[in-house]
Structure 1
Amino acid sequence: MRERVDLNKLETVFYFIAWSGGIFYGLYQLFLAGVYFEDYDDAFNDFGPGWSWVGRKRDISDIEWSLWIPFMYQLIPWVTLHLTFSQYLKWSECSSTIICCWYIAISVAFLCYYAGGVAMIFLLTQPCIACLLTSFRSKRIAYVIHFATLGVIQLSPTLEIVIQDWLMLQEDVYQMIVIAVCWMQLRTISCSIDNITDYKHRNIVGFLKNFIQSTAYCLYLPTLFLGPFVLYSDFIRGIEGPFKPWTFRRISIFILNITRFTFWIFFTDLSMHFIYCNALQYHPDFVAQLNPWAFYAMGYAMGQYFLNKYVVFYGTYGEISRADDINAPPPPKCIGRIHLYSEMWKHFDRGLYQFLIRYIYVPIASMEIPLKKILASFISFGFVFLWHGVQLFIFTWSFLNFLGLTIEGIARSVGNTPGFIDWEEKWLTSKNIRRFHCMLASPLLALSAISNFYFFAGQDIGNIFIYRIFHDSPKAVGILLFLLYCCCQVSTEMKNRETGRETKTDHDDIEKRM
């Protein structure tokens, strides 16, 4: 492992100012491009009345934000009741089985209220299947059935129509149920595989207890609809662990974090009065004509907006889960301070990353087969493609991410060879080695960003970014790569400082124990 390399403070400040300045200037140019919508015939209701004190209309074209935020408010009294009573049960030293029965009861009550009894029974089939699969004691059978079920859900439009008619749900309610089904598919895999490893169906009591725990995990209300994903093992540790007193510090941290995520809701809504990056996605002809600053800033704005959504949802429900002693993954890190594919996957959707590593990547990478790591990565992204939805733009996003991670992995392997290390140390100083690595990472960061644009905005917008990166003027592309180089330096600096703090904390802990 190479030593941490710090640059001159003035140079570090320059990179930070250049990267931040480039972002803000680009966003200003994107704001100016919003004049396109001043006399816009809003046939598809992309805009709504803005806040009166702002005096501008608001971009409401993102379906997820328009659907999920009202649903989030609707869920508040239910998760409040869920958390309050579950903490009372823990304080009363009730068994984990009773706690799980409460989890099931409150989730079933909400589903009946929100979607009706038929939809509630429909969702209950997944944990039932998961528990039955455990009885086979075969991980291979469990994987085949789970993957086949996911394939049927995603690949059958006719089934989608039949289920929607059968459940008799309004469109917005049906969309939330579909999201819950997809999240539950991950949870059923997690509890099936973990329960096969630690088999407990040796008698009827063991079967019933395991069934109750698995069902409570799959229906766990705070993460049922909008994530984040929590490993089954973390859920079990949470319900079986001791009650943690609600000290002043714990209450303060909980309130502070909920306030922080609430702030991001209002900040994101405010930004949609000025930056119309979502509405622009439906006008590819105009996007293709944007000047380079506004064009690439639109890509950054889409990424930042996407980040804000998941900071709000993963952050809020993750915090509620942690208050309930369930160790949910932390919210995503800011995309503006991450430059490597591997780091982005590791620190954005951390729950999904844990799932992929534990249940797909590691089992395949541990096999004695050629190119096992590349195959494990390929199958992992194949699962990501299937789980997110079988569409062309999702395939492009998944494939480019697989390609980018493969290139990064090959580059890291070459960079860690003794010959390459000796070459660098012979011709470059330690600081120049860091600069050289950031320079090499800049084009890969561009590929990483463009791959995500396919996911954010669809195939047409993604294709435009590919076209522009190869056809814009050398000056425009040069400025872009320079700013991405600055981003790589800022990202490296932030990672070095985090590593330094973690090392210091570990050192302090060791000293306290001595």
Structure 2
Amino acid sequence: MGIKTALPAAELGLYSLVLSGALAYAGRGLLEASQDGAHRKAFRESVRPGWEYIGRKMDVADFEWVMWFTSFRNVIIFALSGHVLFAKLCTMVAPQLRSWMYAVYGALAVMGTMGPWYLLLLLGHCVGLYVASLLGQPWLCLGLGLASLASFKMDPLISWQSGFVAGTFDLQEVLFHGGSSFTVLRCTSFALESCAHPDRHYSLADLLKYNFYLPFFFFGPIMTFDRFHAQVSQVEPVRREGELWHIRAQAGLSVVAIMAVDIFFHFFYILTIPSDLKFANRLPDSALAGLAYSNLVYDWVKAAVLFGVVNTVACLDHLDPPQPPKCITALYVFAETHFDRGINDWLCKYVYNHIGGEHSTVIPELAATVATFAITTLWLGPCDIVYLWSFLNCFGSLLPAQPSLSGWGPFEHPQALQVHMS
């Protein structure tokens, strides 16, 4: 088994104090750099008007974040608020029908956002994997699921399928890839669970309720079908003591994180400064260190905000969703380097643990790890940089971290293959 060592409280406090001081010093350098570079010609494309009343422009280099919290913000708020409202009414009036309400509302929201042809395209993939599940062959379900996923990741099929989406708007491509890819993973989970439990007789309606749950539809996280079905099928769900307080706290943290990122984008330009290498080379070492640290943590903050918002809604619906990613700077052992915990659970359950068995011998462990990273490569979109990333991580993870420990390789637990899949 792996060994985790916790820092003593005194050392942890000292570490936090030193880190806070270093970040404050680096932040001062970044603030001065952003003030000096705000009017540079190289910054004009990615620094736009922002808080004009205090004379600060905004870093708009990350178009997704800007779209989510400017023009697309009202759509997100309207859609999720409608989901929460109808879910509450249905739970009060007819709790046995709440899973149907989730599916109908989600399907209508997807159709309103992406158009009816996109909805029909996804229904085609759902029906295909449902039919495969009726044959009871797990290898066929997994193979068809991977083929469906490949059709959204590789040309010419991806170009052909994207032609079914009518109209154009800024986040269309992001929503197309997100909704399609997560749909395939959910349908594959349904098919494999149906094969594993033929006595439960899951229907196509169960698959549609699972897939079109709106908070998870476009961006995840992934809940495996068995967990989702068990939780959403509770006729009279009961909240645990203190659960509402936890939901409020989670919602509050998401709001604070959104405000913090907005402040960063107006005062530090952490995404725009690296695009001008000539300017970045003139920065002091402390500012460069702060810039590198900020860019390292930013991806985690972005994912934490996204998952935090949808997880809050899911908790209001009496679900227990996968937790947000753990902060990169709080990772101490290899087994904790998870990013998207939902996809990690999916990979572990259907690929890594299925092939690797007890993870006690070399050949099954090698096959399980290679297969997992092969599917990860497909999920991220095959290209040279992804091939290189997968190769280095795959065979780097197979090197024994502690040869004296029992087992083989660095994994502390069968569930501990953690894959960064942002």
TM > 0.5: yes
Distance in structure 1 (CA, Å) of the matches to 2:6 and 2:314: 38
Aligned to 1:359: 350
**1:19-168 correspondence runs (5 A):** 19-34=19-34, 37-41=37-41, 45-69=45-69, 70-92=71-93, 94-95=95-96, 98-156=97-155, 158-168=156-166
Distance in structure 2 (CA, Å) of the matches to 1:56 and 1:65: 18
In the superposition, the TM-score normalised over structure 2's length comes to: 0.85
**1:94-493 correspondence runs (5 A):** 94-95=95-96, 98-156=97-155, 158-172=156-170, 173-199=172-198, 206=201, 210-244=203-237, 249-284=242-277, 286-287=279-280, 291-345=284-338, 348-366=339-357, 370-407=362-399, 410-412=400-402, 414-416=403-405
Alpha-carbon distance, 1:376 to partner: 1.6
The 1:382–1:37 alpha-carbon spacing in structure 2 relative to 1, beyond 3 Å, is farther
User: Contact conserved, 2:23 with 2:290, CA < 8 A, in 1?
Assistant: yes
The 1:41–1:107 alpha-carbon spacing in structure 2 relative to 1, beyond 3 Å, is same
Distance in structure 1 (CA, Å) of the matches to 2:253 and 2:199: 41
The 1:200–1:220 alpha-carbon spacing in structure 2 relative to 1, beyond 3 Å, is farther
Q: Deviations over 1:108-128 (max 9, x none)?
A: 211222222112212222221
Q: Output the amino acid matched with 1:163.
A: Q
Alpha-carbon distance, 1:91 to partner: 4.2
Distance in structure 1 (CA, Å) of the matches to 2:240 and 2:11: 44
Give the secondary-structure state (helix, strand or coil) at the position aligned to 1:411.
coil
Distance in structure 2 (CA, Å) of the matches to 1:44 and 1:195: 54
Q: Deviations over 1:16-57 (max 9, x none)?
A: 333333333334334444356333225873122122354221
Aligned to 1:481: none
**Aligned length in residues:** 409
Alpha-carbon distance, 1:255 to partner: 3.0
Q: Deviations over 1:297-336 (max 9, x none)?
A: 3232112211111111101101211211222112222222
Q: Deviations over 1:341-390 (max 9, x none)?
A: 32121xx3111111111111111102897432233223212212211222
Alpha-carbon distance, 1:3 to partner: 8.7
User: Contact conserved, 1:319 with 1:328, CA < 8 A, in 2?
Assistant: no
User: Contact conserved, 1:30 with 1:294, CA < 8 A, in 2?
Assistant: yes
Percent identity between matched residues is 21
Q: Output the amino acid matched with 2:344.
A: Y
Distance in structure 2 (CA, Å) of the matches to 1:66 and 1:317: 18
**Alignment RMSD:** 3.2
Distance in structure 1 (CA, Å) of the matches to 2:44 and 2:160: 27
Give the secondary-structure state (helix, strand or coil) at the position aligned to 1:416.
coil
User: Contact conserved, 1:280 with 1:287, CA < 8 A, in 2?
Assistant: yes
User: Contact conserved, 1:131 with 1:211, CA < 8 A, in 2?
Assistant: yes
Q: Deviations over 1:55-102 (max 9, x none)?
A: 22111111221233344541323333323333443444543xx43332
Distance in structure 1 (CA, Å) of the matches to 2:365 and 2:27: 39
User: Contact conserved, 1:50 with 1:273, CA < 8 A, in 2?
Assistant: yes
User: Contact conserved, 1:27 with 1:301, CA < 8 A, in 2?
Assistant: no
For structure 1, the residue ranges without an aligned partner over 5 or more in a row are 419-447, 457-514
Structure number with bigger Rg: 1
Q: Output the amino acid matched with 2:221.
A: P
Distance in structure 2 (CA, Å) of the matches to 1:251 and 1:16: 30
Greater helix content: 1
Q: Output the amino acid matched with 2:299.
A: F
The 1:76–1:380 alpha-carbon spacing in structure 2 relative to 1, beyond 3 Å, is same
In the superposition, the TM-score normalised over structure 1's length comes to: 0.71
Give the secondary-structure state (helix, strand or coil) at the position aligned to 2:228.
helix
Alpha-carbon distance, 1:216 to partner: 1.3
User: Contact conserved, 2:223 with 2:322, CA < 8 A, in 1?
Assistant: yes
User: Contact conserved, 1:230 with 1:328, CA < 8 A, in 2?
Assistant: yes
User: Contact conserved, 1:93 with 1:243, CA < 8 A, in 2?
Assistant: no
Alpha-carbon distance, 1:403 to partner: 4.4
The 1:60–1:3 alpha-carbon spacing in structure 2 relative to 1, beyond 3 Å, is closer
The 1:112–1:58 alpha-carbon spacing in structure 2 relative to 1, beyond 3 Å, is same
For structure 2, the residue ranges without an aligned partner over 5 or more in a row are 408-417
User: Contact conserved, 1:230 with 1:327, CA < 8 A, in 2?
Assistant: no
Q: Output the amino acid matched with 2:22.
A: G
Distance in structure 1 (CA, Å) of the matches to 2:317 and 2:193: 22
Distance in structure 2 (CA, Å) of the matches to 1:364 and 1:31: 51
The 1:171–1:415 alpha-carbon spacing in structure 2 relative to 1, beyond 3 Å, is farther
Give the secondary-structure state (helix, strand or coil) at the position aligned to 1:271.
helix
Alpha-carbon distance, 1:6 to partner: 6.8
**Greater mean alpha carbon deviation, residues 186-195 or residues 17-26:** 17-26
User: Contact conserved, 2:95 with 2:236, CA < 8 A, in 1?
Assistant: no
Distance in structure 2 (CA, Å) of the matches to 1:360 and 1:159: 25
Aligned to 2:415: none
Distance in structure 2 (CA, Å) of the matches to 1:225 and 1:44: 32
Distance in structure 1 (CA, Å) of the matches to 2:73 and 2:312: 14
User: Contact conserved, 1:342 with 1:405, CA < 8 A, in 2?
Assistant: no
User: Contact conserved, 1:200 with 1:210, CA < 8 A, in 2?
Assistant: no
